[in-house]
Amino acid sequence: MKSTLKSASMSLGVMFAVFLAVNALAVSNATEFKLNAADADFDDRLGQAVAISGNVAIAGANRNDDHGSNSGSAYLFDATTGQQLFKLTASNAQARDLFGHSVAISGNTALIGGFGADRLGDQSGVAYLFDVTTGNELFQLLPSDGTARDYFGHGVGIDGNRAIVGSHGDDDKGGGSGSAYIFDVATGQELMKLTASDGAAHDEFGYWTAISGNIAIVGAKYDDHAGFRSGSAYLFDVTTGQELMKLTASDASSNAEFGYAVAIDGNTAVVGAYGDKQDTGAVYVYDVTTGAEIRKISASDGERGDWFGYSLGISGSTVFVGAYNDDDDGTSSGSSYLYDLELGNELYEQKITASDAAANDEFGTAVGISGNHVVAGAWQKDTASGMDTGQAYTYDISSILPWGPDFNQDGSINEADLVLWQDSFSGPLYDANGDGLVNDEDYQIWEENQHNDIPFVDSPANLNQEGPVGGEDLVILQQAYGLNNGGDIDGDGDTDGADFLFWLRAFTPFEAADANHDRVVDELDLELWTQSNGYTGLYDADGDGDSDGRDFLIWQRRFTQAANSNTNAIPEPSSLLIGLIGLIALLQRVR
């Protein structure tokens, strides 16, 4: 696979950036599997739509002709091997259904749309639920008020026991105003119909839909609120049908088509606007609870006509974006981008292109993400089975993301990571707050410290360049300088987490918060700092009426960010040698 790292520039502040220049960081390629239909044929267009849940990926082939021209099909694959599991077709399939134009998957249930179906009139549309473990069709979904050219099934989403199906041609508020429907996955029963409170003709509300828990997001790409086809998106409570808020871009412009693609996971929603800046494209990130725009994402190498944001997905803090018109490997060869949102003001970017990329493949037409795996479709890929058969790809992204404190790389930060980190040392467990116990309070402090620092895989302290900074890096350092003290850097007679933390801090601005210079950042430092800055009474950073550990963590973060911004505090090393000399001096001083 050809994969190009494009890390966002990082303000390293007072770090001893000595062992490795960041722009020379070696990053492992993500493992790629090609997904091909066992019965692939000319113009099937596999990869027109893709989705993934856990280790199972689904890809639509909406022009498959098994039951008539463009009747359509979909395929389930093992994302970790590329093996085809099942081929799915509708029990009442007909020509021109375009079954597989949209797909979604959650756990053991897949949702597949066919907006061209004529069940309730010409192109009224249909959707189906399937059991992923057996490949059996469960329910056919139809809107209670469906009519011709509603295009029901063009946009679909599913999470747990709720499914959403868009019907962007519905005309409740004018021709093409659009709507969406919520269904009970267990019964196939329609629960409610959603429309925009300010819907108007030609908005095409429901063109793309997504759902997470009790919140659904629906795009209206042709909404004209800020100019012709500027676009918008809406959040709904699917338990009540209540519209929660309308999302628009802070820099909305005509023809941006904001809302063409939408995705949601937990408290974060992302909205694509592939027409932004003359079709360069952009993605916007929102806080679901407040509707606040968190940031705008643009490709670092974006160019006019790339259509970045045409497709997208989100899982946790990781966003996956398609730009199918990108031309790195020929006109419209296509590409995709990974972003990690948990790095404060910085933004980690990783670009992925197919190993066999070629002109007009349109890789990134559709994308999906679940934990450590992503899937991307190239619906016009020519294969040995013919032109435009299409192909999809899955990637294991665990090796190319800045996991930080997620040491076991399972996609979540929890006690298992702390245990793994502790096990790297022979001494006592890491007691971060010095109360004689190792518990959740210590873990919270430890986790917060890591978020304040740069990602471990990008850290100059990551000497072996094999994942997070750990005990192996400390061993390399000791061997390089002939140290025989067993890693007892702080000179207290044992080797434990405190030694590792002290060593790691040599590469970070964290130690600048050690106001009393006792090599521990704790409440004593906070007290000294508040006194020197004229604070009296409680230091209530979070405004909850008391001064406790949460306020201390907020103080740590703010102080570290301030240190990061002071780029003149310590001159940046100009060479590896200078940094090594400085580190030797530091070690000698503390021994």
Are the beta carbons of 304 and 282 closer than 8 angstroms? no
Q: Which of 175, 268, 171 is nearest to 213 (CA)?
A: 268
**3-state helix vs strand vs coil in the chain, percent to 5:** 15, 30, 50
H or E element, residue 450: helix 440-452
Distances (CA, A) of 292 to 256, 267, 268, 438, 577: 19, 11, 10, 37, 46
Question: How far is C-alpha 492 from the chain's CA centre?
Answer: 42
| Separation CA 499–CA 18 (nearest Å) | 20
Q: Could you give the residue ranges of the DSSP H alpha helices within 486-575? A: 497-505, 523-532, 549-565
Beta-bridge mates of residue 156: 165
Walking along the chain (591 residues) 10 residues at a time, the average pLDDT comes out as 26 23 33 95 97 97 97 98 98 98 98 98 98 98 98 98 98 98 98 98 98 98 96 98 98 97 96 97 97 95 96 94 96 94 69 95 98 95 97 88 55 54 42 55 53 40 54 56 50 55 45 52 61 58 56 50 31 31 37 37
Helix axes 549-565, 440-452, angle to 10 degrees: 20
Tell me the C-alpha to C-alpha distance, in Å, between residue 23 and each of 7, 20, 218, 465: 8, 9, 39, 13
Q: What is the pLDDT of residue 424?
A: 44
> Burial of 243 by CB count in 10 Å (0-12 exposed, 13-18 middle, 19+ buried)?
middle
CA–CA distance, 284 with 248 (Å, rounded to integer)? 9
Instruction: Report the candidate in 132, 133, 170 with the shortest Cα–Cα distance to residue 149.
Output: 170
Specify the residue for token string 């960041």: 22
Give φ, ψ of 482 to 5 degrees. Answer: 65, 25
Both tokens of 522, joined, read 């704790």
Count the Cβ atoms, other than its own, within 10 Å of residue 544.
10
DSSP state of 559: H
Q: Rounded to an integer, what distance in angstroms lies between the CA atom of residue 466 and that of residue 82?
A: 26
Task: Give DSSP secondary structure letters for 58-126.
Answer: EEEETT--BTBTT-BEEEEEETTT--EEEEE--TT--TT--BTSEEEEETTEEEEEETT--BTBTT-BE
Structure-derived torsion over alpha carbons of residues 422, 426, 432, 434, reported in degrees to the nearest 10: 150
Tell me what pLDDT residue 348 has: 77
**Contact criterion met (CB below 8 Å) for 183 and 141:** yes
Burial of 244 (0-12, 13-18, 19+ CB in 10 A): middle
| CA atoms of 77 and 370, how far apart (whole Å) | 14
* Angle separating helix axes 523-532 and 549-565, nearest 10 degrees: 60
Domain annotation for the chain: domains and CATH numbers: 39-396 (2.130.10.130), 415-590 (no CATH)
Tell me which residue of 49, 43, 96 sits closest to 71, measured CA to CA: 96
Longest dimension (CA), the chain: 82
96: left (phi over 0), alpha (psi -120 to 50) or beta: left
Contact 163, 183 (CB under 8 A): yes
d(CA 218, CA 243): 10
Residue pointed to by tokens 């080797």:
495
